[in-house]
Amino acid sequence: MVKVGDPRFRHLKRKVAFFAVAALAVVFAVILLIGKENDLFTKKYELDFTVEKGTGFTRGMPVKLSGFRIGRVKSISLNEEARVDIVLLIDQKYQKWIRRDSTVKLVKEGLVGDAIIEVSVGRSPEALKDKERIAFVKTKALDELADELAEKVKPVLGDVEEIISYLNDPEGDIKQSMKNFNQLARNLEQTRNRADSLLVHADGEVGAVSGKLATVLDGAADSVKRVNSSFSTIEQKLPGLLVSAEHSLKNLEKVSGDLKQAEETLLPKVSPLLQKSDRVLSDTGTVLRAVQGVWPISSHIQAPQERQFVPGDSHD
């Protein structure tokens, strides 16, 4: 049996009351914290919108504005038109940013993050009130984006493939150009070596040529002097030569006139003369053939042989 007089039980009531109050305080603090965390103690208002499909939306999913959480999805329900009505519960203090032209859209936080509803800040001066509708902007899902991207990339890939095959074609312009370029590079190296040697050679030659040029110029000066003296001589003799040439031309003219006269006189006689000569030759031939056939001359004339051969000696 426990004695009431045990010092451990002194002020027992007081102690129990203290612990009970402390426990209650802790519970109350926890409730306060959780309520604060879940915006249970802030003033809220509702906005709603309708979408074709409820895919991606969940109850309680956060609603954010400029990256800050301002509310959550309160309810998702199917309406009479088989569309989905969604009600948002937004903190009252952010109401001033959500205006008539504000929109909501379903987005992902990062490539693999959670889905959220993002509210855009409107420019309209009038803010939306409780239970009013906000416009929903449909965003493309990742697979739709991927498909769209694939559709856009397909022709690009085709082009890339074509370009690669064109680049890889050994007979194509690029490969040929590269080949030519390589060859050109090699040739350039040779050309450069040759040019170097040529320059060295030319350097020496220029010196030699300049020396020769000086000699030639000296010679040319002498020649010019001689030409000048020749011109002087010609100048002195030219009048006499011109007089002689004039005489010669007159004589030539006279001779040509005489020749023309002779031609006019003689030419008509030439053709009959030639005809007569032909007849005489023909007659002579006839007479000769007749004489050749007369004995004893015919026995001394060798008859023409049709089968006369170039000697085909067996020793050749």
Nearer to other proteins, 5 or 311 (CB): 311
Nearer to other proteins, 60 or 293 (CB): 293
Q: How far is the CB of 296 from other proteins (least distance, A)?
A: 7
Nearer to other proteins, 67 or 304 (CB): 304
Q: How far is the CB of 280 from other proteins (least distance, A)?
A: 20
- Contact between 90 and 130 (Cβ < 8 Å): no
- Name the amino acid, one letter, at 296: P
Q: How far is the CB of 277 from other proteins (least distance, A)?
A: 20
Nearer to other proteins, 7 or 311 (CB): 311
Footprint on this chain of other proteins (rule: CB under 8 A): 293, 295-296, 298, 303-316
Residues counted in the chain: 316
Q: How far is the CB of 292 from other proteins (least distance, A)?
A: 10
Nearer to other proteins, 215 or 305 (CB): 305
Nearer to other proteins, 170 or 296 (CB): 296
Q: How far is the CB of 284 from other proteins (least distance, A)?
A: 17
Residues 6+ apart with CB under 8 A from 275: none
Q: How far is the CB of 293 from other proteins (least distance, A)?
A: 5
Instruction: Tell me, rounded to whole angstroms, the distance of Cα 203 from its chain centroid.
Output: 43
